[in-house]
């Protein structure tokens, strides 16, 4: 290994002359530096900013829905607009907000937690982000077109999505957009898996990994294993729509039930893709602010693995009403109950973590404990759904809407908000004001509960979801009015949160290094962390590596000095070069996707009618992607070395430039 | 220090306002469990069984929530760092877990789940099909979902119609949007669809089962006593999903038989008055106008819907206008209504839209959305797209065939449809 590393990375002499296109960009600031970046921290930041931008979008869609339902027989939206709103609200919040916010933390925090200088494949990481971005754009493009936004619900049940019932491009854009988001997610997930397996600092054994990193690993495996199912489903519906195949075309013998199975084999693990990162964040915050180690670390890790594993065996509980028959229904009901056990175990261990600690109620901790309460409610109403006959009443009603918002807002989003507050000092060197942080927590907490708690009762009293209007004689008017008022409070809370973090970013109180007295390796870094992350790759001696290091300063200092020497012997700190080609490959994919999804075929009657400008644009996009990937591979996986002064500043280039 | 003082005051204010908000919630929705579609107020054995199971899950979960919540709340307050010195203290370093506690808690969770699992399993088998011992007594109907209405076929009944020579011949027995069933008997419902996925839900009688394309689903329901029940499509099925509703009317044995006998007859003809047919009178200006999404029911009808339904079964003794009705009958063909709707005995045999032979005897029109009265019929045929956006009658009828109705036409059609008792 050692020899190989030296052979690859040591200076091999003179730089060979290269074609112009293979020279690597070197800008450290400005637009080009962002477009060509391969720094995991910058990419994480881009994920985060994009997700928060779409969060505003999805939130406005939710508000439009709540205003429409404020009173019976309201006319704020037409039914067509309403369908677009709830479809895009769901699609946006799941694929463009919660998943990328998770990815932002995976990118930014995970390499720091394992003591790595970047992810395993920095350019692939950039490609993941750019492809995610173009997928997000394509899904949302319909808002600006006459065809309108997708309107078949976030799980797009065929045959509503077939040409027969959805002749416009809206569904094409949804299909292509999701397909690209899947490509981005799988590429990113593979990257994280390889990173966690291979780039751990010396001494960072698997059972010493921070729980957030464990959850990153599980989530990545879930993504890699579950996204192929929806990829297949999306390819099939795309073939139906473009080439007249009959996977779901009912009049030709298609089987819509197939879509549901494929979708939920993806869709249920997806639920855990959304919640496991949240559980990871909580498992970091609770020990830090309780000032003691996580209670039952191995069990928390193992239960995360069981949740991921069992998560592949419960998909049909989304389909209890599709007439699966008694045996299948019974089996999936029991599996669903089984998954409650590892989930409950996590809650017990989190409470165990608080026990006997010194709990400091800072803003991140407020959100984390808010998570515990809200996730408990969402989890318990989930157990109620596992009772299939009772679920026959709850399925497709507002009871379900209440349940999954408790899990996704009270669960995932509370944890992600907690994570933003928790790692903000590390990312930006500034700290959110406790007063405004807590104010936003209470507004969000109250608004959230006032919005979604009444929905349990609306559902039990027979209100189906996805209905743009209801009559006043059903007894749903008060519940809906309360929910709408709650949504407005929630909106004020979220706005407060956004204003607070934006203000803090520019003007917030500066903090010292390690402001929370943290336990994991990321807190040993100055804030914001330098591009090379660690001056010296740390050696890990215990589960909470940084905590241990703080108590064994001499031992660690000695090791660090040795490692620094080794690093220098290898030619300094090796950094990956930046590259434009990941971005260009995504641009090619974007153009190709436009060809498939947006451009009109030459003749709409000539089914499949693919020829003409449509195929031209598609091929053009494909060609750009192909050339970009080719140049990407030709420019080589090389990098450069930097040498540090003792204070961590970079020594000027001594001629050992690029190789 | 100053900040933390503010924030603790703030937490206290926020906490008490949360409590107030929760009280408001309790008053707003916990007290009233009723409503025409409330699953908490069941009127059939399946819905009752499902509710019992719901309560089992509810109490088990509530118990867990209270116990775990109490421990969590205790931990939150007991171990809170109250001073700046507390925040610097370090908790016990070696509290890495306790196998006995962990295994005990896992065991307790499993036990709680077993309590839920047993009634779940029995409920799954119970609600799947009519119990064997009741099979002989079961009545069978077929419900078919269309975008956006329901058709109900009665395979065990036969209807009558007139052939072109005027001879009475047999025909399929089918009605739309109002399912009439015998009370006190299990009813097996075959669930079909002709287009997308719909879901058939009568909350007071049973949980929903989907109507899946290319799949023969079924379930069963039973109404314990005569009654009037609300139902609604429960799977998003396109633009007008929210207004795809239906009703179920359960009747005692004799009344059910009477209803079947009345429905099997061909369409009712209103005899011309003895002293010659009066000219159509122009009362069309009297029809009410409606705003989009306006409620389609009146409170008078709503207070006792079963009585209102019974009243619809009786033909009016007087006040009908045979000439106007006849004109409506002709318009029904000339405006192409008949290419989609069946009216047995009047020679109309379209099958795309709801069967209308006895539409005048139904309590609602437009898939359970609008109360059946002249104003609402006029509202529906005047501007169908305002009532049900994207509906087939509008898209493939009015728009595709460029159908224009004058106020006189609308008046004649309303009178004709009203006469079809």
Judged by a CB distance cut-off of 8 A, whether residue B98 touches chain A is yes
- Can you say whether the dihedral through the CA atoms of A566, A572, A573, A575 is positive or negative? negative
Tokens 């058939």 — which residue? Answer: B200
Interface test with B, best of A321, A362, A516 (most B CBs within 10 A): A321
Residue B410: per-residue pLDDT: 92
- Cβ-contact A572, A643 below 8 angstroms: yes
Q: Given pLDDT bands bounded at 50, 70 and 90, which one contains residue A404?
A: very high
pLDDT at position B163 over 80: yes
Q: What dihedral do alpha carbons A410, A415, A417, A423 form, nearest 10°?
A: 170
Q: pLDDT digits over A167-209, tens only?
A: 889 999 999 999 999 999 999 999 999 999 999 999 999 999 9
Residues B413, B418, B421, CA angle at the centre, nearest 5°?
135
Q: Residue B120 is nearest to which of A164, A389, A478, comparing CB atoms?
A: A389
pLDDT at position B225 over 80: yes
Residue A7: per-residue pLDDT: 42
- Do the chains contact at A462 and B58, CB–CB below 8 Å? no
Residues whose CB falls within 8 Å of the CB of residue B312, separated by 6 or more in sequence, listed in order: B360, B361, B362, B363, B372, B421
Give me the DSSP letters along A17-85.
Answer: P--GGGPPP---SSHHHHHT---HHHHHHHHHHHHHHHHHHHHHHHHHHHHHTSSTT--SS-HHHHHHH
Distance between CA atoms of residues A356 and B392, nearest Å:
66
Chain B, 268-327: which have a CB under 8 Å from a chain A CB?
Answer: 291-297, 299, 302
Residue B238: per-residue pLDDT: 93
Chain B residue with CA closest to A543: the answer is B96
Q: Over chain A, what is the mean pLDDT?
A: 90
Distance between CA atoms of residues A182 and B291, nearest Å:
44
Residue B276: per-residue pLDDT: 52
**Alpha carbon separation from A389 to A522, A624, B46, B48, B118 (Å, rounded):** 48, 53, 9, 11, 12
Q: Given pLDDT bands bounded at 50, 70 and 90, which one contains residue A5?
A: very low
Residue A606: per-residue pLDDT: 53
The rounded radius of gyration (Å) of the Cα atoms in chain B is 29
Between β-strands A509-510 and B364-365, what pairing exists: parallel, antiparallel or unpaired? Answer: unpaired
The Cα of A308 is separated from the nearest Cα of chain B by a number of Å equal to 18
Interface test with B, best of A76, A296, A461 (most B CBs within 10 A): A461
Please compute the mean of the pLDDT values over residues B186-211 and round it to a whole number. 96
- Cβ-contact A11, A659 below 8 angstroms: yes
- Can you say whether the dihedral through the CA atoms of A552, A554, A557, A563 is positive or negative? negative
Residue A659: per-residue pLDDT: 46
Bridge partners, B210 (sequence order): B199
Comparing CA positions, the residue from A239, A309, A475, A328 lying closest to residue B28 is A475
Task: Write down the number of H helices and E strands in chain B.
Answer: 12, 14
Interface test with B, best of A237, A336, A392 (most B CBs within 10 A): A392
Distance between CA atoms of residues B320 and B88, nearest Å:
89
Euclidean distance between the first and the last CA atom of chain B, given in angstroms as a whole number: 80
pLDDT at position A243 over 90: no
Complex ipTM: 0.90
Please compute the mean of the pLDDT values over residues A70-92 and round it to a whole number. 95
Residues in chain B: 421
Residue A638: per-residue pLDDT: 77
Distance between CA atoms of residues A42 and A482, nearest Å:
41
Q: Given pLDDT bands bounded at 50, 70 and 90, which one contains residue A1?
A: very low
- Do the chains contact at A380 and B128, CB–CB below 8 Å? no
**Alpha carbon separation from A243 to A247, A390, A606, A609 (Å, rounded):** 11, 42, 11, 8
**A635 or B339: whose pLDDT is higher?**
B339
Residues whose CB falls within 8 Å of the CB of residue B411, separated by 6 or more in sequence, listed in order: B280, B282, B283, B284, B287, B324, B378
According to the 3-state scheme, what is the secondary structure of A315-355? HHHHCCCCCCCHHHHHHHHHHHHHHHHHHHHHHHHHHHHHC
User: Token digits for A411?
Assistant: 């669960």
Comparing CA positions, the residue from B366, B369, B353, B359 lying closest to residue B328 is B359
- What percent of chain A is modeled with pLDDT above 70? 95
Q: Residue A323 is nearest to which of B6, B72, B212, comparing CB atoms?
A: B212
Interface test with A, best of B8, B9, B65, B87 (most A CBs within 10 A): B87
Judged by a CB distance cut-off of 8 A, whether residue B14 touches chain A is yes
Chain B residue with CA closest to A392: the answer is B207
Q: Cis bond leading into A159, ω under 30°? A: yes
- Cβ-contact A84, A399 below 8 angstroms: no
Q: pLDDT digits over B112-124, tens only?
A: 999 999 999 999 9
Q: Residue B95 is nearest to which of A292, A394, A449, comparing CB atoms?
A: A292
pLDDT at position A631 over 80: yes
**A332 or B23: whose pLDDT is higher?**
A332
Comparing CA positions, the residue from A362, A502, A509 lying closest to residue A431 is A509
Distance between CA atoms of residues B410 and A483, nearest Å:
41
- What percent of chain B is modeled with pLDDT above 90? 71
Residues whose CB falls within 8 Å of the CB of residue A630, separated by 6 or more in sequence, listed in order: none
- Cβ-contact A110, A201 below 8 angstroms: no
Bridge partners, B188 (sequence order): B140, B220
Q: Cis bond leading into B303, ω under 30°? A: no
Residue A540: per-residue pLDDT: 92
Q: Residue A292 is nearest to which of B50, B92, B121, comparing CB atoms?
A: B92
Chain B, 219-238: which have a CB under 8 Å from a chain A CB?
Answer: 219, 230, 232-238
Question: Dihedrals φ, ψ of B247, to 5°?
Answer: -130, 155
Distance between CA atoms of residues B353 and B397, nearest Å:
11
Could you tell me where the DSSP H helices lie in A461-552?
477-507, 545-551
- Do the chains contact at B36 and A474, CB–CB below 8 Å? yes
Interface test with A, best of B23, B44, B54 (most A CBs within 10 A): B54
Coil vs helix vs strand at B232: strand
- Do the chains contact at B68 and A479, CB–CB below 8 Å? no
Please compute the mean of the pLDDT values over residues B255-280 and round it to a whole number. 79
- Do the chains contact at A341 and B34, CB–CB below 8 Å? no
Please compute the mean of the pLDDT values over residues A511-538 and round it to a whole number. 91
Residue B94: per-residue pLDDT: 61
- Do the chains contact at A351 and B72, CB–CB below 8 Å? yes
CA B111 to chain centre: 37
Judged by a CB distance cut-off of 8 A, whether residue B115 touches chain A is no
pLDDT at position A622 over 90: yes
Judged by a CB distance cut-off of 8 A, whether residue B246 touches chain A is no
Coil vs helix vs strand at B150: strand
Q: Given pLDDT bands bounded at 50, 70 and 90, which one contains residue B96?
A: low
Residue B95: per-residue pLDDT: 58
Comparing CA positions, the residue from B162, B139, B219 lying closest to residue B357 is B162
User: Token digits for A540?
Assistant: 């890990």
- Cβ-contact A453, A402 below 8 angstroms: yes
Chain A residue with CA closest to B80: the answer is A359
- Do the chains contact at B68 and A351, CB–CB below 8 Å? yes
Q: How is residue A402 annotated by DSSP? A: H
- Do the chains contact at A387 and B10, CB–CB below 8 Å? no
pLDDT at position B253 over 80: yes
Residue B21: per-residue pLDDT: 61
Q: Which of A530-534, B180-184, B194-198, B318-322 has the lowest mean pLDDT?
A: B318-322
- Cβ-contact A359, B76 below 8 angstroms: yes
Bridge partners, A183 (sequence order): none
Please compute the mean of the pLDDT values over residues A290-318 and round it to a whole number. 92
- Do the chains contact at A299 and B97, CB–CB below 8 Å? yes
Q: Which residues of chain A lie closer than 8 angstroms to B291, CB-CB?
A: 75
Bridge partners, B200 (sequence order): B209, B233
Comparing CA positions, the residue from A537, A466, A650, A572 lying closest to residue A199 is A537
Coil vs helix vs strand at B209: strand
Could you tell me where the DSSP H helices lie in B95-182?
99-128
């Amino acid at each position: 290994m050692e020899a190989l590393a030296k052979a690859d990375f040591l200076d091999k002499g003179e730089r060979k002359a290269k074609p112009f296109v293979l020279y690597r960009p070197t800008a450290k600031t400005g637009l080009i530096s962002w477009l060509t970046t391969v720094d995991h921290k910058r990419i994480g930041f881009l994920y985060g900013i994009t997700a928060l931008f779409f969060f505003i979008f999805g939130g406005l869609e939710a508000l439009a829905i709540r205003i429409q339902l404020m009173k019976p027989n309201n006319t704020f939206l037409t039914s067509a607009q309403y369908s677009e709103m709830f479809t895009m609200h769901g699609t946006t919040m799941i694929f463009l907000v919660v998943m990328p916010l998770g990815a932002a933390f995976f990118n930014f925090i995970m390499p720091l937690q394992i003591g790595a200088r970047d992810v395993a494949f920095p350019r692939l990481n950039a490609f993941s982000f750019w492809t995610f971005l173009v997928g997000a754009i394509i899904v949302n493009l319909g808002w600006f077109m006459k065809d309108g936004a997708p309107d078949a619900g976030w799980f797009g049940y065929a045959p509503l999505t077939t040409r027969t019932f959805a002749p416009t491009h809206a569904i094409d854009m949804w299909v292509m957009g999701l397909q690209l988001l899947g490509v981005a997610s799988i590429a990113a997930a593979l990257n994280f898996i390889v990173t966690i397996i291979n780039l751990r600092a010396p001494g960072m054994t698997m059972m010493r990994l921070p729980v957030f990193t464990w959850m990153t690993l599980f989530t990545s495996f879930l993504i890699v294993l579950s996204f192929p199912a929806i990829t297949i489903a999306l390819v099939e519906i795309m073939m139906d729509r473009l080439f007249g195949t009959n996977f779901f075309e009912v009049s030709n013998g298609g089987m819509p039930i197939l879509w549901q199975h494929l979708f939920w084999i993806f869709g249920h693990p997806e639920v855990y893709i959304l919640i496991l990162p949240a559980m990871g964040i909580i498992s970091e915050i609770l020990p830090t602010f309780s000032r003691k180690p996580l209670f039952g670390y191995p069990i928390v890790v193992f239960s995360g693995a069981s949740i991921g594993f069992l998560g592949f065996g419960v998909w049909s509980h989304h389909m209890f009403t599709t007439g699966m028959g008694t045996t299948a229904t019974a089996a999936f009901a029991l599996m669903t109950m089984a998954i409650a056990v590892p989930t409950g175990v996590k809650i017990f261990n989190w409470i165990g973590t608080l026990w006997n600690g010194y709990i400091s109620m800072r803003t991140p901790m407020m959100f984390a404990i808010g998570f515990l309460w809200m996730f408990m409610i969402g989890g318990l109403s989930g157990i109620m759904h596992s009772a299939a006959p009772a679920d026959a009443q709850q399925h497709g009603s507002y009871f379900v809407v209440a349940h999954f918002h408790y899990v996704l807002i009270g669960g995932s989003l509370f944890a992600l908000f907690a994570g933003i507050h928790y790692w903000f000092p590390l990312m930006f060197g500034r700290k959110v004001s406790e007063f405004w942080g807590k104010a936003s927590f209470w507004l969000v907490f109250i608004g959230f509960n006032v919005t979604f708690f009444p929905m349990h009762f609306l559902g039990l009293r027979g209100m189906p979801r996805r209905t743009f209007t209801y009559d006043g004689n059903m007894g749903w008017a008060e519940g809906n009015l309360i929910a709408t008022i709650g949504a407005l409070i929630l909106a004020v809370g979220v706005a407060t949160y956004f204003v607070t973090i934006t203000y803090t970013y520019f003007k917030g109180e500066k903090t010292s290094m390690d402001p929370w007295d943290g336990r994991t390796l990321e807190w040993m870094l100055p804030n914001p962390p330098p591009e090379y992350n660690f001056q010296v790759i740390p050696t890990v001696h215990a589960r909470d590596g940084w905590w241990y290091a703080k108590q064994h300063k001499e031992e660690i200092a000695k090791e660090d000095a040795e490692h620094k020497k080794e690093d220098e012997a290898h030619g300094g700190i090796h950094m990956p070069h930046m590259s434009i080609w990941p971005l260009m490959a995504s641009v090619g994919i974007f153009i190709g996707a436009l060809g498939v999804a947006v451009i009109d075929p030459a003749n709409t009657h000539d089914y499949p009618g693919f020829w003409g400008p449509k195929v031209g644009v598609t091929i053009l996009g494909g060609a750009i992607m192909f050339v970009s990937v080719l140049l990407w591979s030709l420019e080589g996986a090389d990098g450069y070395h930097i040498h540090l002064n003792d204070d961590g500043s970079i020594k000027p280039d001594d001629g050992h430039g690029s190789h | 220090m100053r900040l933390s003082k503010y924030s603790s005051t703030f937490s206290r204010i926020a906490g008490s306002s949360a409590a107030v908000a929760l009280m408001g919630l309790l008053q707003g929705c916990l007290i009233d469990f009723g409503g025409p579609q409330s699953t908490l107020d069941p009127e059939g054995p399946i819905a009752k069984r499902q509710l019992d199971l719901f309560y089992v899950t509810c109490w088990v979960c509530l118990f867990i929530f209270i116990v775990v919540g109490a421990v969590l709340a205790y931990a939150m307050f007991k171990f809170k760092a109250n001073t700046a010195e507390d925040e610097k203290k370090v908790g016990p370093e070696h509290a890495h877990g306790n196998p006995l506690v962990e295994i005990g808690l896992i065991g307790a969770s499993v036990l709680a789940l077993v309590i839920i699992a047993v009634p779940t399993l029995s409920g799954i088998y119970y609600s799947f099909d009519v119990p064997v011992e009741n099979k002989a007594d079961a009545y069978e109907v077929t419900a078919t979902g269309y975008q956006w209405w329901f058709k109900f076929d009665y395979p065990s009944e036969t209807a009558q119609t007139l052939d072109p020579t005027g001879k009475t011949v047999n025909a399929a027995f089918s009605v739309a949007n109002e399912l009439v069933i015998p009370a006190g008997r299990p009813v097996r419902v075959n669930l079909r669809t002709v287009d997308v996925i719909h879901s058939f839900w009568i909350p007071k009688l049973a949980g929903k089962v989907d109507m899946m394309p290319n799949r023969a689903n079924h379930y069963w329901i039973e109404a314990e006593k005569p009654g009037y029940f609300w139902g609604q499509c429960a799977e998003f099925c396109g633009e007008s999903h929210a207004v795809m509703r239906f009703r179920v009317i359960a009747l005692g044995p004799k009344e059910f038989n009477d209803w079947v006998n009345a429905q099997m007859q061909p369409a009712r003809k209103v005899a011309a008055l003895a002293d010659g047919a009066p000219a159509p009178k122009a009362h069309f200006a009297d029809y009410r106008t409606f705003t989009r999404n306006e409620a389609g029911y009146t409170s008078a009808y709503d207070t006792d819907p079963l009585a209102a339904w019974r009243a619809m079964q009786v033909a009016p003794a007087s006040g009908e206008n045979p000439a106007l009705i006849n004109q409506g009958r002709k318009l029904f063909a000339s405006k192409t209504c008949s290419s989609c709707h069946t009216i047995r005995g009047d020679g109309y045999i379209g099958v795309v839209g709801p069967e209308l032979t006895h539409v005048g005897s139904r309590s609602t029109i437009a898939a359970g959305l609008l109360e059946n009265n002249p104003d609402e019929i006029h509202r529906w045929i005047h501007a169908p797209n305002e009532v049900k956006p994207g509906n087939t009658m509008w898209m493939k009828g009015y728009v595709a065939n460029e159908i224009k109705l004058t106020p006189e036409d609308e008046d004649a059609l309303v009178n004709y449809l009203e006469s079809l008792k």
